[in-house]
Amino acid sequence: MISFKPNPQKPLSFFQQLTDYQITPTIKIEISSDIELIVKNEGERLGLGSFKGLGGMYAVAHLISDQWEKIYGKPLETSEIFTKTIRDMASSLCFVCASAGNHGIAVATGARLLGARSRVYLSESVPASFEKDLLKLEAQVIKKGSTYEASMEAAIADAKHTQAILLADSSWPGYHYPPSLIMEGYTVIADELRREFEQTDHWPSHVYLQAGVGGFAGAMTYMIRHSWQTQPSIYIVEPEYAPCLKASHEAGKPTSVKGSISSMGRLDCKNPSIIAFNILQHSNVHYLTVSEKEAEAATHQLQQHGLITTPSGAAGYAAFIKNKFSHASQAEKEFKPIIFITENNHIK
C-alpha cells in the first residue's frame, strides 16, 4: 500500500506567501424548496482558471527545495523559496509533464515563479487556448499524440532521455513521490472547507468529486475521511467514456479503460492514478458516471446561475442532478450536497 499522509499546512504556508492566494468562494444555490446546493468555485483559484495550480505549483516548489537540501544538506525554510539564490539554482532545472491543459498551466506557472524552465506535452485534443496560455508562461510546448495517455508517454520518454524532472499528476508502480506532492497541494481545498464548516456547523451530507486520473478526488476524499468531523457520502464522478476509477474499483486493482474521446477533456483519462485508487478503495465511496449530454446540460444550467464553466468543470453538478432523484426515495438523512466547479471557461 502506497503511503499518503499529507499535511495541508505545508502547501498553505507556501501559498500564503503569494498575493494571488485567496480562499475560493462557496456559493449557495437554491435548487428546490428543500435542497440548497453548496458550490465551491475553483475556477477562481490563484487566477489560473482551475484548482490545479495548488498541486503543480506546490510540487515545483517542493522539488526545488528538495534539490537545495540535496546540495546543501539542510532544509530550506518556506520563506527562503523566493530568494535570488533559489532562482539561480532553479535556473538549471526543467520540469516536464503531459497535460490535458490545467496541470501544464500549474507547472509552467510554478517553474516561472521560481526561476526554472518547463516543457509541456499536449495531445491534439487539448484546446488551442491552453497552448497559447502556456507559451505566455514561457513553457516549451510539444504537441504529441491524439490522447492524454500518448502525451504522457512522450513526457516520460523525454524525462528519461534528458535531465528534466518528470512532474506527472498521475502515479503508477514505482512513480509516487511527485504526484503525492501534487495531491498534497490539493488538500488545501478540503482544509478550507473544514475550517468553514467548523465555523458554520453546516456540514454537507453528499460530496460530488469529478475525476480524471483521480488526484483531486483522492486528495479530497482522504482529507474528508481524516479531518471532517461530520462524514458525508462521497461520489466519484467520471465521464461515461473514461470510468477508469470505477472499473478499477470493480476489478479490485488499477484498471485501464477504452472509450471514445470525451468532451469532458480534463476528465478524459483512461488510466487511474494508483495513489488515488488506493485511497478510494479504503474510503467507502460511490461511483457515478455522467454522459456527454448530461455534462453539457449541467454546464448550461450552471450558466443560468451565473457560474461559467466547461463540461469538465460541471461534471460534479451533472452527477448531483442525476443523484438527487434517487436521493428523494432514500431520504434517510438530510440532503445537503456540495459540488465543485473545477475550472472556469478559459477555453474560448
Ligand X SMILES: Cc1ncc(COP(=O)(O)O)c(C=O)c1O
50 binds ligand X (CB under 6 A): yes
Q: Which of residues 209-238 bind ligand X (CB under 6 A)?
A: 210-217
How many CB atoms neighbour CB 307 within 10 A? Answer: 20
CA atoms within 13 A of residue 245's CA, in its CB half-sphere? 33
Which residues, at least 6 apart from 161, have a Cβ–Cβ distance to it below 8 Å? none
What are the percentages of helix, strand and coil residues in the chain, rounded to 5?
50, 15, 35
Helices (H), the chain: 9-15, 53-72, 84-90, 102-114, 128-136, 148-161, 177-200, 215-227, 244-251, 274-281, 292-304, 311-330
Q: Is 331 left (phi over 0), alpha (psi -120 to 50) or beta?
A: left
By CB under 6 A, name the one of 275, 342, 346, 347 that touches ligand X: 342
Judged by CB under 6 A, the stretch of 16-24, 206-214, 290-298, 299-307 that binds ligand X is: 206-214
155 binds ligand X (CB under 6 A): no
CB of 233 to ligand X, least distance (A): 19
CB of 277 closer than 8 Å to CB of 245: yes
By CB under 6 A, name the one of 10, 40, 117, 266 that touches ligand X: 266
Pairing of the two strands 117-122 and 206-210: unpaired
CB of 306 closer than 8 Å to CB of 318: no
CB of 189 to ligand X, least distance (A): 12
By CB under 6 A, name the one of 312, 320, 337, 344 that touches ligand X: 312
Identify the burial level of 258 via C-beta atoms within 10 angstroms of its C-beta, where 0-12 means exposed, 13-18 middle and 19 or more buried: exposed
By CB under 6 A, name the one of 110, 239, 254, 313 that touches ligand X: 313
The letter for the amino acid at 276 is: A
268 binds ligand X (CB under 6 A): no
CB of 200 to ligand X, least distance (A): 26
- Convert residues 270-309 into a mask of x (bound to ligand X by CB under 6 A) and - (unbound): ----------------------------------------
Of 68 and 317, the one with the shorter C-beta distance to ligand X is 317
Of 67 and 262, the one with the shorter C-beta distance to ligand X is 262
By CB under 6 A, name the one of 41, 67, 102, 263 that touches ligand X: 102
* Total residues interacting with ligand X, rule: CB under 6 A: 21
Which residues, at least 6 apart from 256, have a Cβ–Cβ distance to it below 8 Å? 244, 247, 270, 271, 272
CB of 52 to ligand X, least distance (A): 5
Of 232 and 311, the one with the shorter C-beta distance to ligand X is 311
How many CB atoms neighbour CB 182 within 10 A? Answer: 32
CB of 213 to ligand X, least distance (A): 4
List of residues contacting ligand X (CB under 6 A): 50, 52, 100, 102-103, 169, 210-217, 266-267, 269, 312-313, 342-343
